[in-house]
Amino acid sequence: MSVNDTSRIASVVLDVDSTLCGLEGIDWLAQQLGDDAAKLVSALTDRAMHGEIPLDSVYGERLSLVRPDRTAISELSLAYVASLAPGAKQAVMRMRDAGVRIVLVSGGLREAILPVAELLGVPEHDVHAVGVQFTSTGGYAEYDVSSPLATAQGKRYVVESLALPKRVLAVGDGATDLAMKPVVDLFAAFTGFVQRDAVVAGADMVFNSFDQLADFVLS
């Protein structure tokens, strides 16, 4: 479908890390453990988001290094909220009030993202992320290894399975977001926090703010 098609956008799929919020959750968790862990995990994240290595190959490795317990996840949720993109809350509310369905699709950790969704008025059933399991004492046990969102093509499969009202616009900053392009009507690269040239090159359009996004969707 053409970028210039004037029919209404009915659904917006939003990435979370470095799009809706100005941090990469797994990198933030690693930073709390010190410089060595932060550098190692950040390098793996960056290579995966640039598409240099598949997310599948590093997802479990990063979590095994960080092993976030229940307290760390709660602290990450606060960091997500604090780093919400400028104007994002108002933009999401504008779109929701106009009847646009907002769906969060993230390779991040669901338990940390849910408070962000609540703040934005996005119901839990429209939050798709990777679940974490804890021990009886709140320690890290495992992540949902069956989640497609822990893989490079997972967002594509999840969005395709949702049968969202059309037209569908997906927005994100990384290679795993660009993977959604074949199953949505339009894909926008978000550059408000980070710009990845390959993602921009593959996108139908580019937004650097949520005001731009909402203005386009509601135009």
Q: Which domains, from first to last, does the chain contain?
A: 11-217 (3.40.50.1000)
Average pLDDT, whole number, for the chain?
Answer: 94
In terms of Cβ atoms closer than 10 Å to its own Cβ (0-12, 13-18, 19+), residue 136 is: exposed
Segment 54-73 mean pLDDT: 91
**Which residues are identified as catalytic?**
15, 17
pLDDT recorded at residue 5: 55
Share of the chain above pLDDT 90, in %: 86
184-211: per-residue pLDDT in tens? 999 999 999 999 999 999 999 999 999 9
pLDDT recorded at residue 2: 42
pLDDT recorded at residue 113: 98
66-101: per-residue pLDDT in tens? 999 999 999 999 999 999 999 999 999 999 999 999
Tokens at 36, concatenated: 């060595």
Q: Which residues of 9-45 are buried (b: 16+ CB within 10 A; e: fewer)?
A: bbbbbbbbbbbbbbbbbbbbbbbebeeebbeebbebb
The residue type of 151 is T
Segment 140-156 mean pLDDT: 95
